[in-house]
Chain A
Amino acid sequence: MLEAISQNRFAVVAVILFGIGLLNIMLQQNLLKKVVGFSIMDSAVFLLLASLGYIEGHGAPIVEEGSVNASLYINPIPSGLVLTGIVVSVSVTAFSLALIQRIYRHYGTIELRELLERAKKEED
């Protein structure tokens, strides 16, 4: 049991982090905390993705002149995906933060429940 956990330690941590992130998104009413939840959730996915391409004891896939021996390096594709994923996640976070700022200027609050009530009133 313990051995299984230690072998899959990255996956276990990723699942826990993902759970924390998802709970934050579902339960928090504060928009900012929801965004933090998304960040945690994304990190969990990146951790899982990066750990899948990691091979114990192998180096970073930077090819030096002349020597190309694939067995020395970790799998570069998941690392590349994580990099792209981080870029995507950063831009999405920036967009949501800008949006939240705009909402705060408009309503003076970022509690979702309150905002929904206000919006409903505004429409009637």
Chain B
Amino acid sequence: MRPFYENLPFICIFIAIMCGVLSAVIQDGRKVYRLALMMTAVIAVLSVVLLYFLYIEDVSFVYSMGRFAAPYGNAIKAGPLQALLATAFAIVMGLSLLGGGHSLFQDILPEKQGLYFAVTDLLMAGLLALVYTNDMFTGYVFIEITTIAACAMVMAKDTGPNLIATIRYLFMSLLGSGLFLIGLTLLNSATGYLLMEPLAKAVAILAELGQYQRPLVVSIGLMVVGLGIKGAMFPFHLWLPDAHGGATTSSSAILSGLVLKGYIVLLITLMTRVFGLQLMRKVGVSNILLTLGLLGMIFGSLAAMREYHVKRMLANSSVAQIGYIFMGLGLGTEAGVAAACFHILVHAACKPLLFICAGRLSTVSGHHRSLKNLRGSAYRDVAAGVGFTVGALSMIGIPLLGGFVSKLYLSEAALESPFMAVVLLTIAASTVLNALYYVPAILAIWVRPAWEEVRFIMLDVKPEDMRFDRLFFIADAVFIFLIFLLGIIYHPILNVIRAGIRLM
């Protein structure tokens, strides 16, 4: 008799899909909103339970779906890392919906609100499936589901620029999934498997015998590039600022905080479970990831410095932070992958916080978005100001906050690398660049401007916007707590990640 907790990953995915279907039927925005929040809470609790058992017993398990046994059929595989990521994804999803709830109901047409939450529920299912899947083709199908859901979330706020941003996002994503599919086809034709374990064995044998070297390298390259395009790896990130910057607050938070990570988690699974880090290093894909990650860290920050629109600035900063993750993966060591996983968690906590705070600050400033018009806005909602400050300081890498720990571990992982000097210098340069745009933003919201300057802005502010937003306050407080948690009690979390990578 296998333990009951092995059913939990499937139950989580199933709950998310069922909630999506139910939401599409119910249609009433407020009810469905509550349903979505409850769903994320339930999934978070179930995932925590799963995490507890898997970490205590130090195991990972394969859960086969359907009647066909391995090496065919379909399966889920869960270990501590997967359970941790699922927990984090569910919590961040719930908090993002909570924090952006107010503007959500303003930005989206009333008759479309029910569908919006149907999409978020399906997105949650897609993300969970990307985390748990043990089958390449299921991975591909859920990549597409996540893509469509993410695009629908961008276009939910129905303005012209948003529609154009969505179509650009959609085209880039489709190109990415097309490349992934070809890579998958080549790999399947060379090995004959789709389940990850037999695939990994076959790949290892091919690599050892030196057969089919070129198809193998091409397929690894295509898959990495395909997922890289979707995860906003450096030269393929041009769709990101408009799509993430223009969407409604919750969408931006979820897209930046979670959707990018879903693809990267699948990439990590491929790297560690299927190809193996050694092979990745041998065929040189690791070095490409490292180079593109380093470039992204610099150019993302440079683009963010030029931005005056606060949400687009945050979106550009995501490109830089994603660069850190790819850099960690590109180091090609377990320490690097562990640091990258930790940075996934840190970024998933910081960026949604920054987005919901920026959204709140712009709400209390008459929906103006440029930093110039947000001057002194922190005094109009102190909680949002504090949240923005904490998130920004964490992104810069101030001790006691999550961002510091991930930078520390990324640097430590870099020490073993042959490119130590370049990596460390880039981390230093990128930190300075981060400070160069986050510090002015913090100053802008906290410096009280002369009354004549804000008078015109205050004319646009409606009284109901100034009211205390309780849901936002809760989300804000929990996010700040999470960032401090990641920054202070990081040893247990890193232990879970290391155990997870070992049991991949």
Contacts and interface: CB of A to CB of B under 8 A. Distances in A.
Interface of A: 18, 25, 31, 34, 38, 41-42, 45, 48-49, 52, 77-78, 81, 84-85, 88, 91-92, 95-96, 99-100, 102-103, 106-107, 115-116, 118-119, 122-123
B210 interface: no
B163 A88 contact: no
Contact of A77 (B141, B147, B152, B194): B194
A18 to B, nearest CB: 8
Given A38-B178, A45-B181, A92-B144, A78 B161 contact: no
A78 B174 CA distance: 21
Interface in B174-188: 174-175, 178, 181-182, 185, 188
A31 to B, nearest CB: 6
Best-buried of B137, B152, B166, B167 by chain A (most CB within 10 Å):
B167
Nearest to B161: A119
Given A84-B141, A99-B155, A49 B164 contact: no
Contacts of B164: 103, 115-116, 119
Contact of B170 (A84, A96, A116): A96
Contacts, number: 78
Given A45-B182, A95-B148, A119 B160 contact: yes
A91 B148 CA distance: 9
Interface residues of B, number: 29
Contacts of A77: 72, 188, 194
Contacts of B106: none
B393 interface: no
A92 B174 contact: yes
A123 B170 contact: no
Given A52-B189, A95-B151, A81 B137 contact: yes
A35 to B, nearest CB: 9
B171 interface: yes
A17 B438 CA distance: 47
Given A45-B181, A99-B166, A123 B144 contact: no
The 5 residue pairs across chains A and B that have the minimum distance between CB atoms: A119-B161, A52-B189, A88-B144, A119-B164, A103-B163
A49 B185 contact: yes
Contact of B160 (A41, A99, A118): A118
B218 to A, nearest CB: 12
Given A34-B171, A45-B178, A95-B148, A106 B185 contact: no
Contacts of B163: 99, 102-103, 106
Contacts of A18: 182
Interface of B: 72, 137, 140-141, 144, 147-148, 151-152, 155, 158, 160-161, 163-167, 170-171, 174-175, 178, 181-182, 185, 188-189, 194
Contacts of B166: 99
Contacts of A119: 160-161, 164-165
B167 to A, nearest CB: 6
Chain B binding surface, main DSSP class: helix
B167 A99 contact: yes
A42 B178 contact: yes
B444 to A, nearest CB: 20
Given A45-B182, A52-B188, A77-B72, A100 B160 contact: no
A122 B160 contact: yes
Contact of B161 (A31, A99, A100, A122): A122
A98 to B, nearest CB: 10
A113 B26 CA distance: 40
A123 B167 contact: no
Nearest to A48: B185
Contact of A85 (B152, B158, B181, B194): B181
Contacts of A88: 140-141, 144
Contact of B167 (A48, A52, A92, A103): A103
Nearest to B185: A49
A77 B74 CA distance: 12
Contacts of A42: 178, 181
8 contacts: A42-B178, A77-B188, A77-B194, A91-B148, A92-B144, A106-B160, A119-B160, A119-B164
A41 B144 contact: no
Nearest to B172: A25
B185 A52 contact: yes
Contact of B137 (A84, A91, A107): A84
Nearest to A11: B189
Contacts of B189: 52
A85 B188 CA distance: 15
Contacts of A45: 178, 181-182, 185
A123 B241 CA distance: 14
Given A18-B182, A42-B178, A85-B181, 9 more contacts: A38-B171, A45-B181, A81-B137, A88-B141, A92-B147, A95-B151, A96-B174, A99-B163, A123-B161
A74 to B, nearest CB: 14
Contacts of A25: 171, 175
A85 B141 CA distance: 8
A30 B166 CA distance: 15
Nearest to A44: B182
A103 B167 CA distance: 9
A117 B188 CA distance: 43
A93 B119 CA distance: 18
Nearest to A84: B141
A15 B157 CA distance: 39
A119 B170 CA distance: 17
Contacts of A100: 167
